[in-house]
Structure 1
Amino acid sequence: MSTVATVAEASHHLEPLISDLGLILMTAGIAVLIFKKLKQPLVLGYLIAGFLAGTHFDFFPSVSDVKSVEVWAEIGVIFLLFSLGLEFSFKKLMKVGGTASINAMTQIITMVIVGYLVGQWMGWRQMDSIFLGVILSISSTTIILKTFDELGVKSQKFAGIVIGSLIVQDIVAILMMVLLSTVAASQQFSGMELLQSVLKLAFFLTAWFVGGIFFIPTLLKKAKPLLTDEMMLIISLALCLMMVILAANVGFSPALGAFIMGSIIAETTQAEHIEHLVKPVKDLFAAVFFVSVGMLIDPTTLYTHAWPVAILTLVVIFGQSISSIIGALISGQPLKQSIQIGMTLAQIGEFSFIIATLGMSLNVTSDFLYPIVVAVSAVTTFTTPFMVKMAVPFSEYLEKKLPRRWVKRIARYSANAQAIRSVSTWQIVLRAYMSQIIIHTIIITAIILLSSKYLLPLVENYKFGNPIAALITIIIIAPFLWALALRRVAVKEVEILFKERKYRGPIMMMIFFRMGLALFYIGFLLNIFFSPIIAFFALVTAVAIYFFYPKQLHRQYHKIESHFLKNLNTRDEVSIKRRYASLTPWDGHMTTFQIAKESNIAGKTLEELRIREEMGINIAFIKRGEIMVKIPTKNERLFPGDEICVIGSDAQVKEFDNYLHQHEFDPPKNVKKAEIVLQQLELKRDEFVGKSISQSKIRERTNGMVVGIERGGKRLLNPESNLILEKDDVLWVVGDKKRLNQFFKE
């Protein structure tokens, strides 16, 4: 009888959860069908479904247990962020470049300030205003990507910059969630606490990323033959929830842990497969999350705060657009693309909901903020497709109405901002040393803290427990200490700078600083496990052993680094192999070469070089910075620093290697390096009009090359030398900066 009673009691408690979930999914399903038919964003349908299923709408069945729905919603946030992480990778962030970063940061900083000031102007509390500023600063990745798919503009250049900006915004949103939690806990702005939070976040992000990339791809690769789709899904979700628990224990939000684990798995070769497996789970719980957001919409609150909703909607549409346009212009984008970027980012979405939810869970925001944010998001979701469509006509209208000199200045600034500039040798050395110090400092600190927290308590009660624990820890961190103190980086650049007296002092200071830092960490470790006196003698012994086995430490570190880089780059290498596998002949193989800075074949087209005709070599692709030129045509030029992938037999590849070396020359000594830039030249002088490019002698007079011509609103890339120049043509010339400036002044 007791068993039957227990089962009956359990079913009684389970029934509201099942009925509520059934009601949510039923209303969500109906909303999906209706909004799909109306060709409107599904997120909006989920919000309306939540409003209908909520307790504020009496003409529809309502959920009975709101608390259980909140639990489902928290799970939905975790899987939503995990899925966003799978679509994001840290290498993508590195490739985003300055344009998207400048645009995103300009928009975020501007909107945080504007949102805070608007909140204060409306008489809201300070904490409401702070959260409002952050909420209004983040655009919606989901809505924008959906709009791009529907309008078919994802391949356009502005869309790539928008997606890059969204990546930066997502990272900054995670950071701001951590900072908001700190501010909410202390109820005041403390510069030191905020700095500590930022440093803590940077430390754990780096440690988690390095550790995750080192272990997780290897785990998935080793287990791949044993894993079915079901097991792969379970392991992926287990890894996600493990990182969620870890993030929560450290003091961060669970959403951050889910996002980090998603971004780590995004670097593995199974990323696309895992993303495909997780998608149904994500869609299910994301629907529950957005429906739960809609349940909080209170018509009475919206009616009472109709004016704030209207004001904030206008603030989002105009504020986001204008700040993004300014950011894009500052980063050097043309006027048309800047307007397209700005008008696309004019909405708020899923991260705004998550941040608003954070404010409610911390009990620091007012009840009216959440439904107002949802209402503003709903309106701006509707307006997004129209804003994207209107961007081009509006930019054309603006170009006609703005003063001509303004348009010319914007165009010239854009050209100069996108000019090709070389990075100085000192910058390369400084960047290499700073990367070496920061990464290894974080790794060593993380290992020491883990050892002191988990290993030391296990052995400290035994007679030789502390020495054994200290020895194990030193053995683990020894390769990283060697790399921090003695590993040579940017070798060629350091040798070049060391020949100049003014750089010798700074370089020696950086070398001694690295050695001193390594000694500090050895002392820091030993001080944790021993008394200061014993730690000093142990330090001397450890340093002696440390310098006695440099080759073994170098070998061990090289093995660790190779394993990490292999895991980090395997996905890219596999994708390249898949992309060009069909190009590889049976008796040939693919080899990558780099065009040297001193090579005299740079600047020539493939047709002029006749590589294929002379040596039988085929070029599969050319990698130029962030750009990949696939299957280049005969008119494609080679530039210094280009990485070219060639296909040929062993003999052909060897012949090509000799060919590259034969065409390299030693640069003359004591000659200042020329700065190569890309500049515009508008033809106003009659001496050029009616002549061909070769007859104009522009190449000889500027020591440059005409790489493009704008004529009547159309652009022609790589024009032939016999092309006749016309009045008002805009020439794009690559050449020596001084020679170009001198030529423009003539």
Structure 2
Amino acid sequence: MIHLPVLIADLGLILAAAGVTTLLFKKIKQPLVLGYIIAGLLVGPHINIIPTVSDNKSITIWGEIGVIFLLFSLGLEFSFKKLVKVGGSASITAIVKVLFIILAGYLIGIAMGWNNMDSIFLGGIISISSTMITIKAFEELGIKHKKFAGLVFGVLIVEDLVAILLLVLFSTMAVSQQAAGPEMIKSILKLSFFLVLWFLGGIFLIPTFLKATKKLMNDETMLVVSLALCLVMVLLADKAGFSPALGAFIMGSILAETTQAERIEHLTKSVKDLFAAIFFVSVGMLINPSVLIEYAMPIFLITLIIIFGKILFTVLGALLAGQPLKTSVQAGMSLAQIGEFSFIIATLGVSLKVTSEFLYPIAVAAAAITTFTTPYLIKLSEPFYNFLNNRLPKKWLNAIERYSSSTEGITTLSDWRILLRSYIFNTIIHSVIIISIILLAARFLNPFIAYRLDIGSNATIISVIISFILMAPFLWALSLRRIQRTAYSHLWLNKKYTRGPLIAIEVFRILLGIFFVGFLMYEFFDTWIAAVIALTLVILVMVIFSRKLQSFYTKLENRFMLNLNARENRTPHILPWDTHLTELKVSPESEVVGKTLAELMIREKYGVNIALIERGRNTIPTPGRDERLYPNDKLLLIGADDQLASVKLLLEVDLPEISENTFPDKEMTLQKVVVNSDSSVYGQSIRNAGIREKAQALVVGIERGTDKILNPSSDFVFDNGDVIWIVGNHKKIKEVINYLST
């Protein structure tokens, strides 16, 4: 008789238990994660009702693989460009919420008599909301089109990065047994350095590789290549001293910027689902029911902190960021749970043996309870807002509305802010590249040339030459490249106040470039005389070949930007009153197919404007009344939540989810313009002003005194002092403003 390995038997038992429980949870419409955890509890060592897993060590390894693929999948949904685009509102909301919840978790842990490490880990565990559970709840409730959903997704994106930072910091604390100090600062700087380096290198190389091999990539090879890239980055992260899960997350976020992102996500979904199921089952296996009974009161208190604390601090952060009260409350009640990152942080504490045994099952129990309550809290968010709106003093409500309105629209950046932001980015990016070239040359290139090629003392000179050739374009960009010429010119013209600081900045850039060249020489030469001679020659070369370096760097930059923008994923988000932009797709079965906009009267019936139609590769901005709708047309619409929900039912037949495709290269944005007696549109109606025809823009709102009119009719006549909100292509918005102002 053939002996069946224990690992296979255990794996079969795990999947069988997971299959039964998930079918049951699917039937009762509860999150599958809870089903996996209960399956792990049943096959774990603490319950003997059914056969249990024999080799826990092997299952732990499978669970670690599950973490890797789970974070790879989260990275595919993350992307660094999304982080840049979420804006200040989501960032402020996320940071306020996370900081206060970490503090609350730490204090509640200390109050219960726990040690510092348990309390700190508790704060980290309960601070991060679950992306997976929140998105799933939004899909099931059909509310992804609502205004507050955009804020929630932005907060989740920021929190994902914060969670990665917490993993690194907690790992450092576990080793040093300290919560602060030089080691912590060193870890943060090291993480920042590698994040920038991996992102730059990944965006430059991987999209180019995928584009070059596109014709060879069927589904099978794409799956193998994607998983290989994931595991290569896992190895690099491990070599750099980080968690393997961090490498998986980084590679996922790099691939998220490529044109193959959706395909990769689709192909790897089954792999992720399989190993994630094993991971969550392994989570359940660590739960000891007797511990849950013993720590019932801490579980209750922690659950209250998660639910009410996250609601309170998310609302506070959103209000500080300028969000309306309704959006803040709905966002707060959508984020009152913990999930996958909480399990990973808890697992880190167990694996490093720095947390007590009771913390892990407490975290899992709290996660299970808050996962269960999430859909109900989301459903109650609007009634709770109505309750607050009726109970809060009018003075408070008016103050919140005024503060929110003052943050709307497009913020104008001063020339100094534009210039300094560009210089900071330029310095950080090129410094990271230059330092990495020097370190790689000193650690790997020079030993390889010296010992493998056997050329003796000449190896150092050759290594320096190669290093400098690689560094030269980036040294030029760091020290000599002109950035933001328009803003620089404006500031230079103000001789009295700005020329001194501008000269100081330019001198600093040149000195920084010289420092890096000196650093290169110091790494290879023992004597300062040789270093000074080499440095002088380097400066001469930089000056003589400046034009060629500029040309070469421009090619590199263009390649990088081409790769970075290959998959544009920008969903505009604007805040006049309670309106926003969203995207809908015309179903082939919809009754609107074949009809003109004039026949459908969508604006008149629903109060919604169609800002753009994407049809295949063609884009129709601000479509006219005679434009017809065809199957699979993608529409960019502006309106309030209830209006968009009504139009969604009309356009998307039997399609419960809003299409997540975006409109690359055709971003629509919003701007406001004040009409005065000298304006060309003063005294004219919207129809006669011809804004749509002359400027390819739509009037979507008007403020007249204290009155606010959303999607006004075409007969509305402009008057002196009217504030017009217009939507149009971001590249043409200046033409629109000039047309309305003259």
Q: Does 1:536 align with 2:526?
A: no
User: Residue 709 of structure 1: CA displacement?
Assistant: 5.8
Q: Does 1:226 align with 2:216?
A: yes
Q: SS at the partner of 1:275?
A: helix
For residues 168-206 of structure 1, give each alpha carbon's deviation from its aligned partner in whole angstroms, at most 9, with x where no partner exists.
000000001100111111111233222211111111000
Q: Following the alignment from structure 1 to structure 2, what is the Cα–Cα distance between the partners of residues 412 and 474?
A: 56
For residues 659-694 of structure 1, give each alpha carbon's deviation from its aligned partner in whole angstroms, at most 9, with x where no partner exists.
xxxxxxxxxxxxxxxxx9899xxxxxxxxxxxx999
For residues 714-735 of structure 1, give each alpha carbon's deviation from its aligned partner in whole angstroms, at most 9, with x where no partner exists.
962346674899xxxxx97779
Q: 1:710 to 1:376 in 2, by over 3 A?
A: farther
Q: Is the 8 A contact 2:702 2:708 kept in 1?
A: no
The root-mean-square deviation of aligned C-alpha atoms, in Å, is: 3.2
Q: 1:632 to 1:15 in 2, by over 3 A?
A: closer
Q: Following the alignment from structure 2 to structure 1, what is the Cα–Cα distance between the partners of residues 684 and 403?
A: 28
- Residue in structure 1 matched with residue 661 of structure 2 by the alignment: none
- Residue in structure 2 matched with residue 398 of structure 1 by the alignment: 388
- Residue in structure 1 matched with residue 560 of structure 2 by the alignment: 564
- Residue in structure 2 matched with residue 147 of structure 1 by the alignment: 137
Q: Does 1:478 align with 2:472?
A: yes
User: Residue 420 of structure 1: CA displacement?
Assistant: 3.5
Q: How does 1:670-681 map to 2 (within 5 A)?
A: none
Q: Following the alignment from structure 1 to structure 2, what is the Cα–Cα distance between the partners of residues 233 and 575?
A: 28
What are the ranges of 5 or more consecutive residues in structure 2 without an aligned counterpart?
A: 573-582, 587-608, 610-617, 624-633, 639-663, 675-681, 686-698, 727-742
- Residue in structure 2 matched with residue 717 of structure 1 by the alignment: 711
Q: Is the 8 A contact 1:112 1:133 kept in 2?
A: yes
- Residue in structure 1 matched with residue 482 of structure 2 by the alignment: 488
Q: Following the alignment from structure 2 to structure 1, what is the Cα–Cα distance between the partners of residues 82 and 498?
A: 34
Q: 1:334 to 1:575 in 2, by over 3 A?
A: closer
Q: How does 1:505-544 map to 2 (within 5 A)?
A: 505-531=500-526, 532-544=528-540
Q: How does 1:288-687 map to 2 (within 5 A)?
A: 288-460=278-450, 462-501=456-495, 502-531=497-526, 532-572=528-568, 620=621
Q: SS at the partner of 1:570?
A: coil
Q: Comparing 189-198 with 384-393, which one deviates more in the overlay?
A: 189-198
User: Residue 15 of structure 1: CA displacement?
Assistant: 1.2
Q: 1:387 to 1:555 in 2, by over 3 A?
A: same
Q: Is the 8 A contact 1:83 1:282 kept in 2?
A: yes
Q: Following the alignment from structure 2 to structure 1, what is the Cα–Cα distance between the partners of residues 555 and 383?
A: 57
Q: Following the alignment from structure 1 to structure 2, what is the Cα–Cα distance between the partners of residues 375 and 248?
A: 31
Q: 1:210 to 1:390 in 2, by over 3 A?
A: same
- Residue in structure 1 matched with residue 99 of structure 2 by the alignment: 109
Q: Comparing 473-482 with 455-464, which one deviates more in the overlay?
A: 455-464
| 2:33 paired residue among 35, 43, 67 | 43
Q: SS at the partner of 1:571?
A: coil
| Bigger radius of gyration among the two | 1
- Residue in structure 2 matched with residue 211 of structure 1 by the alignment: 201
- Residue in structure 2 matched with residue 118 of structure 1 by the alignment: 108
Q: How does 1:122-133 map to 2 (within 5 A)?
A: 122-133=112-123
Q: 1:183 to 1:96 in 2, by over 3 A?
A: same
Q: Is the 8 A contact 1:706 1:732 kept in 2?
A: no
- Residue in structure 1 matched with residue 655 of structure 2 by the alignment: none
Q: Following the alignment from structure 2 to structure 1, what is the Cα–Cα distance between the partners of residues 306 and 255?
A: 34
Aligned length: 620
Q: Is the 8 A contact 2:702 2:723 kept in 1?
A: yes
Q: SS at the partner of 1:448?
A: helix
Q: Following the alignment from structure 2 to structure 1, what is the Cα–Cα distance between the partners of residues 434 and 448?
A: 21
Q: Following the alignment from structure 1 to structure 2, what is the Cα–Cα distance between the partners of residues 39 and 632?
A: 32
Q: Following the alignment from structure 1 to structure 2, what is the Cα–Cα distance between the partners of residues 714 and 55?
A: 64
Q: 1:59 to 1:714 in 2, by over 3 A?
A: farther
Q: Following the alignment from structure 2 to structure 1, what is the Cα–Cα distance between the partners of residues 329 and 569?
A: 36
User: Residue 235 of structure 1: CA displacement?
Assistant: 1.0
Q: Is the 8 A contact 2:434 2:474 kept in 1?
A: yes
Aligned residue type for 1:449? L
Q: Is the 8 A contact 1:89 1:267 kept in 2?
A: yes
User: Residue 227 of structure 1: CA displacement?
Assistant: 2.2
- Residue in structure 2 matched with residue 666 of structure 1 by the alignment: none
Q: 1:199 to 1:574 in 2, by over 3 A?
A: closer
Q: 1:719 to 1:621 in 2, by over 3 A?
A: closer
Q: 1:171 to 1:631 in 2, by over 3 A?
A: closer
- Residue in structure 2 matched with residue 202 of structure 1 by the alignment: 192
TM-score for both structures, normalised by structure 2? 0.79
User: Residue 547 of structure 1: CA displacement?
Assistant: 1.0
Q: Following the alignment from structure 1 to structure 2, what is the Cα–Cα distance between the partners of residues 570 and 706?
A: 31
Q: 1:285 to 1:32 in 2, by over 3 A?
A: same
Aligned residue type for 1:515? I
| 1:87 paired residue among 53, 77, 82 | 77
Q: 1:435 to 1:724 in 2, by over 3 A?
A: closer
Q: Following the alignment from structure 1 to structure 2, what is the Cα–Cα distance between the partners of residues 70 and 311?
A: 30
For residues 26-73 of structure 1, give each alpha carbon's deviation from its aligned partner in whole angstroms, at most 9, with x where no partner exists.
111111111111111111111111111111111111000000000000
Aligned residue type for 2:552? Q
- Residue in structure 2 matched with residue 593 of structure 1 by the alignment: none
For residues 393-440 of structure 1, give each alpha carbon's deviation from its aligned partner in whole angstroms, at most 9, with x where no partner exists.
010011111111111111111111224431111111111111111110
Q: SS at the partner of 1:707?
A: strand
- Residue in structure 1 matched with residue 260 of structure 2 by the alignment: 270
Aligned residue type for 1:503? T
Q: 1:693 to 1:313 in 2, by over 3 A?
A: farther
Q: SS at the partner of 1:421?
A: coil
Q: 1:693 to 1:26 in 2, by over 3 A?
A: farther
Aligned residue type for 2:150? G
Q: Following the alignment from structure 1 to structure 2, what is the Cα–Cα distance between the partners of residues 295 and 253?
A: 23
Q: Does 1:279 align with 2:274?
A: no
TM-score for both structures, normalised by structure 1? 0.79
Q: 1:573 to 1:75 in 2, by over 3 A?
A: closer
Q: Is the 8 A contact 2:701 2:708 kept in 1?
A: no
Aligned residue type for 2:518? G
Q: Following the alignment from structure 2 to structure 1, what is the Cα–Cα distance between the partners of residues 344 and 173?
A: 17
Q: Following the alignment from structure 1 to structure 2, what is the Cα–Cα distance between the partners of residues 296 and 208?
A: 35
Q: Following the alignment from structure 1 to structure 2, what is the Cα–Cα distance between the partners of residues 143 and 269?
A: 26
Q: SS at the partner of 2:565?
A: helix
Aligned residue type for 2:554? H
For residues 589-623 of structure 1, give each alpha carbon's deviation from its aligned partner in whole angstroms, at most 9, with x where no partner exists.
xxxxxxxxxxxxxxxxxx9xxxxxxxxx995379x
Q: Is the 8 A contact 1:104 1:165 kept in 2?
A: yes
Q: Is the 8 A contact 1:50 1:291 kept in 2?
A: yes
Q: Is the 8 A contact 2:568 2:665 kept in 1?
A: no
For residues 267-297 of structure 1, give each alpha carbon's deviation from its aligned partner in whole angstroms, at most 9, with x where no partner exists.
1111111111100000000000001001111
Q: Following the alignment from structure 2 to structure 1, what is the Cα–Cα distance between the partners of residues 92 and 479?
A: 35
Aligned residue type for 1:485? S
Q: Is the 8 A contact 1:47 1:291 kept in 2?
A: yes
- Residue in structure 2 matched with residue 190 of structure 1 by the alignment: 180
- Residue in structure 1 matched with residue 46 of structure 2 by the alignment: 56
Q: SS at the partner of 2:204?
A: helix
- Residue in structure 1 matched with residue 227 of structure 2 by the alignment: 237
Q: 1:554 to 1:375 in 2, by over 3 A?
A: same
